[in-house]
Amino acid sequence: MEYASKGELYDYISERRRLSERETRHFFRQIVSAVHYCHKNGVVHRDLKLENILLDDNCNIKIADFGLSNLYQKDKFLQTFCGSPLYASPEIVNGRPYRGPEVDSWALGVLLYTLVYGTMPFDGFDHKNLIRQISSGEYREPTQPSDARGLI
């Protein structure tokens, strides 16, 4: 295991409140590339979140904590409710079977929103409200303009 001297991406963002789009692009490209590699090799992470993305000396990312990961096959469904609620996909929060990559893709969207806007897209204070927001795709409309808005 490599040492991630700069710690968690969560702490990095907490210190800065939000990142520039250039910095966001630097991190997000690496995160997407790493997740693509996992999916190409039949692995779904299922717990992608800022706390599980570590930074090395050069601020390159390392995805950590594969404890909830699983192998997946395109023709088989997974059913385990896992991951962190703020990053959970509609399939997860509604207890529906899922193939795998779509739950990581949802978490990538949450990560991108958080990197760009410096806040989570959903209100995590009330679990029932959180489930409703995720299920309906109802997220906080950001006040700052961003070129990433359409991608999110």
Residue positions annotated with a catalytic role: 47
Rg over alpha carbons for the chain, rounded to the nearest Å, is 15
Which is nearest to 25 in space by CA: 119, 140, 146?
Answer: 146
Rounded-to-5 percentages of helix, strand, coil across the chain? 45, 10, 50
What is the Cα–Cα distance from 5 to 56, expressed in whole angstroms?
Answer: 5
